[in-house]
Structure 1
Amino acid sequence: MNVRRSAAVLAAAVAIGTATPAVAASPSPSPSLPSGLYGSSDPTYDGVWRQSLALIALHRVDVEPAEAAVDWLAGQQCANGAFPAFRADPTKACDAKVMVDTNSTAAAVQALSASGAHDTAVGKAVTWLKSVQNKDGGWGYTPGGAGDANSTSVVIGALKASGDDPAKALTGGKSPYDALLKLSLPCADGGAFAYQPDKKGKLTANADATAAAVVGALGQGMVSVKAGDEKNADCTDAARPTPKDAAANGSAYLAKAVAKDGHLTSALPGSENQPDYGNTADAVVALAAQGGPVAAREPLAWLERNSAKWAGQNGPAAYAQLILAAEAGGADPSDFGGTDLVKQLTATGPAPVAASQDDSGTSVWWMVGAGLAAGAGVGFLLSSRNKRKQP
């Protein structure tokens, strides 16, 4: 879910000679960007990812995106159902040089499912995802690659959004939840999730992976995630842990990780530690999904105070992450620390569909508003926040 992926994902990308949404390419505008694409930076490494997050975030706040934006995303799909990070000429068939990946594909599935269109594209993408599921029930970033918590979790979200039951996505009798449980650490090690085992099979706590895996272990994704009931953030080792047990433990780890400063910290090799805005936004979603808005209150408040500059520098995926965090944590995305996140996001791409109008050109919503105003004491009647996510 992250605009800036973990160092582990970046290392994996370098190893296979490609990249992930973690490394946004040159921030300079490209003169040949498609009109339906969100953002002005080079989309080579994150085009499908940022487009998907933008569409999902708009869905979560009941804004209908331009048809061109949805069609651009659908047009990135290869004939086998998979999506690459970006392909400049969708009229050319995908060949071996087009690097498809599970993360782009799973994110696109969620976005296209939310749009209510392109059911055929969604079905083909889900079929492809199931075809590259690993024997342990999980997924790696590239088809056939070693499984990891982030990729497995984003695919769980795709299955959920498409109407599939992730628990029934089996290979060798193993489901995605089995794969996540294998990456869950005991409470003695904090209860976090690891990204993936190291070469010696050792698991190391990873906040990025934990934020993704908490949502995945709850059987949710970006489209479907919603605030859970208020629960204590305690880590408990069960004799036979369930995915929900692992999610609770992961949430306890995140709660401790953000307790001191209100945010997660980035510790990339060769650089000084600094606030990690993207992973903090993901942690807010995970904490709210497990323990309700109260569990995410402090990191959400920190984001409201500090994330505006980061989002402005990073564009649509960053605005989308903040919208998802605000929406899950009970904040107002249209007034997030004084910033209208929805307005900022829509300004990076094609204008969304305007409010419906009747044949006379009079806005239907204006008529509704006039009717409400006429009734004294009617009070608050409609809420635009009833749609809730399914990850």
Structure 2
Amino acid sequence: MLRKTLIFLAIASALTACNKPGKEPAKPETAGKQADAKASDKPVQLLVSSEDVLTVQSNSLASGPVITGSIQPERKADLRAEVSAVVMQVLKENGEPVKRGDVLVKLDESSVRDSLLSTEEALRAATQAFDQSQRALDRMKTLRASGMTSIQALDDAEVRRNNAQSEISAARARMATARQQVGRTVVRAPFDGIVSDRKVSNGDTAAIGKELLKVIDPNSMRFEGRVSADKIAAVKVGQPVMFRVNGYGEQQFNGVVRRIDPSANDVTRQVEVLVGLAGGAQPRVAGLYAEGRIDAETADVLMLPESALVKSGDKTYAWKVKGNTLAKADLGMGARDPRTGNFEVRNGLAAGDTVLRHPNSSLKDGQKVEMAAPKVPALASAGTAPAAAKQ
């Protein structure tokens, strides 16, 4: 019985061993993925064209003190009332162009006109008094010649004539002043420009010295800036200035240092520097904030655009094409040129090196590079086709 049981257990063990799954062969798809993974570890040859690379060159880098300020017109006029009167009419609004001599504001001239009439009557009376005193002096001279009057009487007549003559001169002066006052009730534009700030309206009372409106010449804009006192020694008249104006985006404006204030501000200790605008586009709005840099010093350095630089933490590098191989070049960076936006490269590259213009994150050090052949113009290839067909 025991022998039969052992034989049965042996047969069951053999059957169990036969039913265990064996090691399956690798599937074709899995084998393909493993081969692709191994292939991806190897650098792929990079095909680039002449548009994908640039040559490192030495360019001029300008440096100098920062200048901040505002855009202001050189020609501007604050028109104020020269007589005390009521504003009758304002003929121009803000932003309207004006020509020299155009009427801008009319003031009430009633009281001033009455004063003019009074001075005219005073002049007429003084003229009549002078005529009478002159005739009296002539009679006294005739009587004196015949011995019928005294010398004292003649002298008195001459004094009265002189006083009348003085009254005429004074009356004429008062009349001229009254006429000027009448003319001042009409405010005119002193030059061609634009009304920038209207201060009064119809019916306002304008005392002497009250501001009526402002007129500016938009073609005379300049940059009135300030420079820190510790940098003013580097600023010289005639140096170029590049600056941006708030409201004009990234647009660059060019200027030239025209004047340097000989004294610093008592509060800020900054020195005012007047910059005249050079040719090209000019800002047309006064009062806008402006900031720029005076090109006090210029040096030739290696420059690269920001697109060719790759930043990794505190380090910056570029991909240099050396022969048919791609090499990673660690760079020592300098200042940024505000005129072009390029960065100074102090070390890591040399003039004449070729780098990728727009590198990406998939590049690897030592990767093979192949320069693509230049494209043949379509016009030339189309022109040779008929010739080949004729043959």
Q: TM-score, normalised on structure 1?
A: 0.17
Point out the structure with max Rg over C-alpha.
2
Give 1 or 2: higher helix fraction. Answer: 1
Give 1 or 2: higher strand fraction. Answer: 2
Greater RCO between the two (CA within 8 Å, min separation 6)?
2
Q: TM-score, normalised on structure 2?
A: 0.17
